[in-house]
Amino acid sequence: MQISTFFAVLGWVLSTVAIPASPTVEAALPTSTANVAGLHALAKAAGKLYFGTATDNPELTDQPYVAILNNTQMFGQITAANSMKWDATEPEQGVFTFTQGDQIAALATNDGRLLRGHNCVWHEQLPSWVTSGTFTAAEVTSIIETHCSTLVGHYKGKVYSWDVVNEPFNDDGTFGQDVFFNALGEDYIAIALRAAKAADPNAKVYINDFNIEGTGVKATAMKNLITSLKSQGVPIDGVGLQCHFIVGEVPTTLEENMREFAALGVEVAITELDVRMTLPETAALLEQQKADYQTVISACQAVPQCVGITVWDFTDKFSWVPGAFAGQGGACPWDENLVRKPAFDGIVAGF
Ligand code: 9MR
């Protein structure tokens, strides 16, 4: 056999034989080909305030990761994935710890980047003193006010926007039953927003949720809440669309929905973008994921009130997805080896 024929046959065999998952196959998957200075630079050039990422304290010992994170052309905004949450910041009543949150804040502010605060009031990641205490409505009010004003006050002047209330709704558009709602009904939302705004009047106060990215009952519930808050004079500056999507399932009404939010007089941000898939990754899945990322960026691009986009960490190495959904992953624009995926090019194309 001629040597060229041999290689042609070998190439055919390699391209047709299903090889079990291994580093060899991963290396054969398509990667990014875009040659750009950075995603934040593109976002700015496109008129947006930022392209950013979530990050977490344990990740900051990973030097190759940090090198990408600290590229201010790539990421112009940072969110703490965990270290500004209630369990991290007020583990005992009245005892506040900001060391971990400050480390994330410094990453942003030392480099002149924007910081999103995440979050003041949420039914998850609460310390047990909040969830297992027996409190009157007046006490819960005071607990919310103390937490929000101390947390937001600590970061006063450093935060572009706060997710003051996180995930208040069930998927059917009813309010989640948590320690706050059970004591105060939906009034807890206004209490938190007012306390946060008073603590840092220059920070935008947001409500952030998932499954409100497309039109539907949950998005309608959020719109009704925003309308109601505005009619009562409660501060509300923005709505965060988390955008934890599944490959091939980006809502077709994303742009229309963002316009409807904007029409209420609030800004919109994409706060926690990732696009997960059932593993293993394949070339076809990565191509669809690229298209999905592009769809999301394009929708934000089309709506002037969409101020920016945050990915919920940029690498599969540190994604929350595999820990939350068995057998799923691959959700981020960089792979586990910090190699840019086609999804990166989807983001570039979206701008
Ligand atoms: O990324 C966060 C992960 O490390 C935590 O274990 C998890 C706990 O619920 O929270 C993750 O972040 C969530 C965010 O705060 C709110 N929206 C959903 C995110 C993914 O769960």
Q: What pTM does this model have?
A: 0.92
Q: What are the distances in angstroms from CA 304 to CA 82, 241, 268, 301?
A: 29, 15, 9, 7
93 domain-assigned: yes
d(CA 250, CA 343): 14
d(CA 133, CA 131): 6
Q: What is the CA radius of gyration of the chain?
A: 22
Ligand 1 within 6 A of CB of 58: no
- Kindly report the number of other CB atoms within 10 A of residue 10's CB atom: 10
Position 28 scores a pLDDT of 85
pLDDT 10s digit of each residue in the chain, 351 long? 454 444 444 445 444 444 445 454 545 899 999 999 999 999 999 999 999 999 999 999 999 999 999 999 999 999 999 999 999 999 999 999 999 999 999 999 989 999 999 999 999 999 999 999 999 999 999 999 999 999 999 999 999 999 999 999 999 999 999 999 999 999 999 999 999 999 999 999 999 999 999 999 999 999 999 999 999 999 999 999 999 999 999 999 999 999 999 999 999 999 999 999 999 999 999 999 999 999 999 999 999 999 999 999 999 999 999 999 999 999 999 999 999 999 999 999 999
| Residue 271 belongs to domain with CATH number | 3.20.20.80
116 domain-assigned: yes
Mutate to test the pocket of ligand 1, among 320, 325, 332 (most ligand atoms within 8 A of CB): 320
How many Å from the N-terminal Cα to the C-terminal Cα in the chain? 50
200 domain-assigned: yes
Position 2 scores a pLDDT of 53
6 domain-assigned: no
35 domain-assigned: no
Position 4 scores a pLDDT of 47
Sign, CA dihedral 311-245-175-265, equals positive
* Domain carrying residue 64: 40-350
335 domain-assigned: yes
334 domain-assigned: yes
Based on the residue annotation, tell me whether 255 is a catalytic residue of this protein: no
17 domain-assigned: no
Q: Which of 267, 272, 281, 336 is catalytic?
A: 272
Mutate to test the pocket of ligand 1, among 57, 312, 318, 328 (most ligand atoms within 8 A of CB): 312
Domain count within the chain: 1
Q: 280-286 contacts: CB < 8 A, separation 24 or more? A: 280/21, 280/25, 281/26, 281/29, 281/330, 282/29, 283/29, 283/30, 285/247, 285/330, 286/29, 286/30, 286/330, 286/341, 286/342, 286/343
Q: Whose CA is nearest to atom 4 of ligand 1?
A: 320
